[in-house]
């Protein structure tokens, strides 16, 4: 069984969707969890309340992790509260889809900042504490769009592909320091980002998934929990697809 007792985990963008499921799962396995959010204070506090209701330990910390200074403050709040940081899950991200010919420059920049630079910001901020501990687990949430590309998502695909490259490079740099860095490439998982899709689009997407169904946030969370645990102690620099066989 995966045991995360004694570990402190920071999950970015954890007020809803995949991040919420990850925060709850890590707490169920014994970790003390910091639920990061940007605007959704009520939703983040609901996650904290749910964790505490199950006997776990959690706090909510506000911060826009796409901003370098704020990401640093979120990490500092974590270490100030609990004295350590063992697990960082870089989950925060969003979409602004459009065909390339119609995409505005600010929409491209916005996604790179939120989905890629946030990973840099938080990972860099967490490094000092993890190196001091000679232990750390970083799990970056990427997407199948970053592996195979997706029409209408040049910005998102580029950002998520960047996360994969970042993961591989950071893993090689810090493996000697006891820090493992991996990525989880999520397939089509029903969240706020995908719920807005028209039903006919969803039906067509399912046709391209060998398992013939969407995944669940819990299925992603279980893989993250494994990679964040000592059961995955000899795994680093990898991207594990949770996509029903799409890639």
pLDDT in the model for residue 193: 65
Average pLDDT over residues 201-209: 84
Integer Cα distance of 35 and 178 in angstroms: 24
Tokens for 162?
């960047």
Of residues 240, 245, 242, the one with CA closest to residue 180: 240
**Which residues participate in catalysis according to the annotation?**
156
The mean pLDDT value for 43-56 works out to: 98
Tokens 């090689």, located at residue = 172
pLDDT of residue 10: 99
Q: State the pLDDT at residue 140.
A: 98
- Asked if 136 and 79 touch (Cβ cutoff 8 Å), the reply is no
pLDDT value of position 134: 98
Tell me, yes or no, if the pTM score tops 0.75.
yes
**Strand intervals (E) in 104-232:** 136-143, 179-186
């Amino acid at each position: 069984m995966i045991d995360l007792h004694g570990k402190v985990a920071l999950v970015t963008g954890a007020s809803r969707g995949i991040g919420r499921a990850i925060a709850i799962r890590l707490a169920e396995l014994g970790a003390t969890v910091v639920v990061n959010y940007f605007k959704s204070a009520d939703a983040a506090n609901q996650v904290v309340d749910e964790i505490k209701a199950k006997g776990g330990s959690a706090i909510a910390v506000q911060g826009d992790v796409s901003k370098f200074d704020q990401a640093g403050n979120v990490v500092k709040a974590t270490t100030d509260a609990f004295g350590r940081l063992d697990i960082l899950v870089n989950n925060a991200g969003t979409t602004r889809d459009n065909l390339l010919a119609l995409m505005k420059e600010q929409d491209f920049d916005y996604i790179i900042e939120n989905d890629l630079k946030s990973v840099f910001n938080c990972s860099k901020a967490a490094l000092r504490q993890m190196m001091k501990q000679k232990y750390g687990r970083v799990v970056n949430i990427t997407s199948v769009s970053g592996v195979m590309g997706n029409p209408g998502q040049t910005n998102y695909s580029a950002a998520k592909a960047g996360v994969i490259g970042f993961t591989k490079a950071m893993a090689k740099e810090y493996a000697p320091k006891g820090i493992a860095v991996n990525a989880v490439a999520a397939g089509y998982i029903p969240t706020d980002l995908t719920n807005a899709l028209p039903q006919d689009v969803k039906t067509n997407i399912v046709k391209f998934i060998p398992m013939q169904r969407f995944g669940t946030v819990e299925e992603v969370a279980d893989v993250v929990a494994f990679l964040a645990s000592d059961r995955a102690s000899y795994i680093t620099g990898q991207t594990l697809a949770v996509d029903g066989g799409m890639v």
